[in-house]
Amino acid sequence: MKLLLAEYAVGMRLEDGIIREGRAMLETLSRSFKRSGCEVMTPEPGRFETDLEMLAANSDYGLVIAPDEHLTHYTEIIESRTVNLGSPSNVVDACADKLKTTRILRDAGIAVAEDVDSDRYVIKPRWGCGSEEIIVTDENLLPDGFIRTRFIEGEHISASLIRSKNGFVLPLTINKQLVEITDEKIRYKGGITPYFTPRADEIIDACRRAGEILGCRGYFGVDLVLSDKPYIVDVNPRPTTSIIGISRVIDKEIGGLILDAYRNRLPESVNIISEEVIYKLDEL
């Protein structure tokens, strides 16, 4: 069983900090897919798109990890040549637009960070991932290409889930995000997996509904701020950094679960079998 696994930062030889995060995700998934019976093929660094097209045509399955602004294009390449183990390209495209995603979820009755009058605002790119261009300010600004939401005080967390073709959603873990807010900047520094909270059911329910409404498939991650309720900040229709910790603490292979999602064979649950794992981006 041949599987194409492609990670953009590694394949494009991006700057050191980004490539270390990408390589950690790539190696985690590659090991897990191999243990699940796959022959894993990856693009050579510097030949990302060329190899993606060639390897996809010779694979039984494909999975690509890339920034929001590129993921739709690369997912379409996978879909045209092999079986895509991630979310469909139209779902990826919707999730890449943070304004569109926010409106879809809001209209479905899910709590989101909205653009309403506030003492403090979060301003972030409408398209794109990462925390480099996110700022916190008390000024009511809205630059072109950005969205503005009210700043919500609370815990920064994420949830990791897998959704099968038939719509069943398997929660994996809730994760604590290590976030630094200084000098009007929000910086993601890493995470803790798993993160135990008495509000787990409330969090997972919101994330499950978001995945169902948007049509996510395979692994997806949801970023939230936990305040008086869980407020969804972002939906990532692809593997996220949290898999580095997840792979070490659950009793199933993350690669096997992604395959089982396509086959509609997901288990009812996974078990936590290890102590929490702390992963910091500058130590990967």
pLDDT in tens, 273-283: 999 999 998 88
The conformation of residue 44, written as its DSSP 8-state character, comes to P
How many Å apart are CA 134 and CA 112, to the nearest integer? 17
Residue 232: band (very low, low, confident or very high) from pLDDT cuts 50, 70, 90: very high
Q: Which residues of 74-103 are buried (b: 16+ CB within 10 A; e: fewer)?
A: bbbbbbebbbbbbbbbebbbbbbebebbbe
Locate 115 and state its tokens.
């653009």
Residue 131: band (very low, low, confident or very high) from pLDDT cuts 50, 70, 90: low
Locate 145 and state its tokens.
């290409």
Give the CATH H-level superfamily of domain 95-111+153-283. Answer: ATP-grasp fold, B domain (3.30.470.20)
Look up tokens 């395979």; give the residue: 218
Residue 270: band (very low, low, confident or very high) from pLDDT cuts 50, 70, 90: very high
How many Å apart are CA 127 and CA 125, to the nearest integer? 5
pLDDT, greater one: 131 or 173: 173
User: Strand pairing of 121-125 and 230-236?
Assistant: unpaired
Q: Which amino acid is at 256?
A: G
* Averaged pLDDT for residues 249-256: 98
Handedness of CA 107, 261, 43, 74 (dihedral sign): negative
For the cut 80, the answer to whether the pLDDT of residue 132 exceeds it is no
**CB of 173 within 8 A of CB of 250?**
yes
Distance, CA of 208 to chain centre? 14
Structural domain spans, the chain: 2-84, 95-111+153-283
Share of the chain above pLDDT 70, in %: 98
For the cut 70, the answer to whether the pLDDT of residue 260 exceeds it is yes
Least confident range from 126-140, 171-185, 265-279: namely: 126-140
Tens of pLDDT, residue by residue over 60-97, are 999 999 999 999 999 999 999 999 999 999 999 999 99
Q: What is the pTM of this model?
A: 0.95
Q: Which amino acid is at 115?
A: D
**CB of 72 within 8 A of CB of 84?**
no
- Return the CATH number of 2-84, one of 3.40.190.10, 3.40.47.10, 3.40.50.11770, 3.40.50.300: 3.40.50.11770
How many Å apart are CA 206 and CA 224, to the nearest integer? 10
How many Å apart are CA 189 and CA 207, to the nearest integer? 22
Q: Which amino acid is at 241?
A: T
pLDDT at 116: 79
pLDDT, greater one: 210 or 138: 210
Tell me the average pLDDT of the chain: 95
CB atoms within 10 A of CB 123: 20
How many Å apart are CA 165 and CA 169, to the nearest integer? 10
How many Å apart are CA 38 and CA 60, to the nearest integer? 10
Residue 139: band (very low, low, confident or very high) from pLDDT cuts 50, 70, 90: confident
Tens of pLDDT, residue by residue over 166-207, are 999 999 999 999 999 876 888 899 999 999 999 999 999 999
Q: Cβ contacts of residue 183 below 8 Å, gap of 6+?
A: none
Share of the chain above pLDDT 90, in %: 83
Least confident range from 19-33, 42-56, 103-117, 127-141: namely: 127-141
**CB of 65 within 8 A of CB of 236?**
no
Residue 263: band (very low, low, confident or very high) from pLDDT cuts 50, 70, 90: very high
Largest CA distance in the chain: 55
CB atoms within 10 A of CB 146: 19
